[in-house]
Structure 1
Amino acid sequence: MAEPPVVAVVGPTGSGKSDLAVSLALELDGEVINADAMQFYRGMDIGTAKITPAERRGVPHHLLDTLDVTEEASVSDFQQHAREVIRGIHARGKRAILAGGSGLYVRAALDVLEFPGTDPDLRRQLEAELAEVGQEALLTRLRDVDPVTAGRVNDARRIVRALEVHQLTGRPFSSFMPQREYFQPAVQIGLAVDRDVLRERLALRVHRMMDQGLLEEVRQLDAAGLRGGKTAQRALGYAQFLKVLDGVSTVAEATEDTIVATRQFARRQLTWFRADPRISWLDWQAPHLVAQAAALCN
């Protein structure tokens, strides 16, 4: 008997992906797999709007709280773990439901996607060169060997990674980009949002996070080594509120900066997911949303 398709619930932050995934799991006898890179981190609960045990309504959730804030998230590690979890869920006769807005992580789980290896010594060498000659010099070098990637990246970490891959493999990093080909049968459900409503919803959500104790959560994670984590320290809200602890920003400034950054992130997510023609889009506020989504999963 053929395995049922993996279900992925995608869309921008604040659109209700977690809630829909739980409702679908209850409807389809499924289990949920987290595909939000920042929700891998233990203790990063308020600022990531991590679904609470009560909100999970008894549905098993996987790949939440798997990393300390000092550890670096890896798409290739996630791919391996997510596929292991999917196999386990299917072996139990359940439906696997992926939920998250980290686009590359979703594609890593669903699509045929090869990840080149890493070399810590080479990475350190390139990071030392970055510190010595600057980002623009490394970007110029990347343009010579991989103009496609050079035209897409705008931060030092990705430039270093692209150069590392080219030196390791002799292939441009862009040659490893995923094709739109599923690794196994899959259904993607996107939550289509009213952008003006989402803008206000995201602002309210950031203010609610403040009321729930985001600043204290950042303070505790700072003591646990947040600044040493390459991935975690860049998370929305956490980067902004570390500046409050440093006396660089006020709480009001950090709150507004987080709202702006979250809205920008939501726009980038929409651009990413809208580019995938395989996604079936549903109105996030549809009165029969769960039934509509469940009908797509057969």
Structure 2
Amino acid sequence: MPDRDLARVPPVVAVVGPTAAGKSDLSLDLALELGGEVVNTDAMQVYRGMDVGTAKLPVSERRGVPHHLLDLLSVREPASVAEFQRWARAAIAEVRGRGRVPVLVGGSALYTRAVLDRFDFPGTDDAVRARLEAELADAGAPALHRRLAEVDPEAAAQVLPDNGRRVVRALEVVEITGRPFSASLPRLEYADPAAVQVGVAIDRPDLDARIERRVEAMLAGGLVEEVERLLADGLAEGRTAGAAIGYREVAAYLRGELTLDEARERTVAATRRFARRQESWWRKDPRIHWVRWDDPDRLTRALEAVRPLL
């Protein structure tokens, strides 16, 4: 996304913030106001059938706004940040090419940053990856995360301890490049200057309560049945989809390893931890224009941040 005359191209607007803060509603408001289309940046919403547990908006609730990068993969297929970057930048170019404003929204901070910022991906080594994956299967993600913390504390602070795939990738990059994985993470520099981020700010007690209500609603809305269907489609073999919060806990319930109450409690706790990590990531970015989740004028304030690029 090279520099260009900003007056000639619609801006790229990204709505960011923790899960359950209300990003989807604001993204729809902005898309309708700006003549835009939504581009998903949630790592798990790219999977077909992962609807209830990812809070994917059904078509009936999208208010007629076109959505991109949803339902692309089966749950058996892995997804990578590099691959998603290509998809998203192509979708953004297509939307802008029609004179529309792409509005990015999703809970995956790394995916959003990979799309917006200058972010080049190190190579890979199949032998190193296979060895680390074997160690992951044998020792578990927390053990490998402790090793990552020793060799690259900055990367360890940004990768969840139970995200085995990301831990393996970080260790692989350290081994094959001799440089910290954190050195390959995106810089705070937009790849295209016609970009703006609007963050949805929410107090922790309010967020915790919303997360608990969301998990309850997911279970009441058919999450168990969804996981049953996806397990039949190969969810347990999916390296990316199989690790999704909520899905792994319900899968453990279906295997008889947890009660449903325990699965619910673990999903709430994991989602809250994830939200804390998201907040930590986003708060380090001084470019974000924050609006309160419950501010009745939040759309107006968000538009104020976008207007200089229009």
The TM-score, its normalising length taken from structure 2, stands at 0.88
State the identity as a percent.
Answer: 55
Question: Residue 4 of structure 1: CA displacement?
Answer: 3.0
> 1:224 maps to what in 2?
233
> 1:163 maps to what in 2?
171
Distance 1:255 1:104, change over 3 A: same
Question: Residue 281 of structure 1: CA displacement?
Answer: 0.5
> 1:79 maps to what in 2?
85
Q: Does 1:172 align with 2:180?
A: yes
Equivalent position SS for 1:121 = helix
Report the AA paired with residue 58 of structure 2.
T
1:96-131 deviation line (CA, Å, top 9, x unaligned): 110012110110010001111223333113333555
Structure 1: 4+ residue segments shifted above 6 A: 132-141
> 1:183 maps to what in 2?
191
Q: Does 1:114 align with 2:123?
A: no
Q: Does 1:4 align with 2:13?
A: no
Conserved? CA contact 2:75–2:230, under 8 Å: yes
Q: How many residues align?
A: 298
Question: Residue 141 of structure 1: CA displacement?
Answer: 7.1
Distance 1:151 1:103, change over 3 A: closer
Distance 1:72 1:10, change over 3 A: same
Conserved? CA contact 2:165–2:239, under 8 Å: no
1:198-251 deviation line (CA, Å, top 9, x unaligned): 211211111111111110001000111111011111211111101111111111
Equivalent position SS for 1:122 = helix
Pairwise CA RMSD: 2.3
> 2:305 maps to what in 1?
296
Match of 1:199 among 167, 192, 208: 208
Separation in 2, partners of 1:134, 1:222: 22
> 2:129 maps to what in 1?
123
Report the AA paired with residue 96 of structure 2.
H
Separation in 1, partners of 2:30, 2:142: 47
Unpaired segments of 5 or more residues in structure 2? 1-6
Report the AA paired with residue 126 of structure 1.
L
1:273-288 alignment, distance < 5 Å: 273-288=282-297
Equivalent position SS for 1:39 = coil
Equivalent position SS for 1:297 = helix
> 1:42 maps to what in 2?
48
Match of 1:214 among 220, 223, 231: 223
> 2:3 maps to what in 1?
none
Equivalent position SS for 2:61 = coil
Match of 1:21 among 27, 38, 44: 27
> 1:252 maps to what in 2?
261
Of 118-127 and 176-185, deviating more is: 118-127
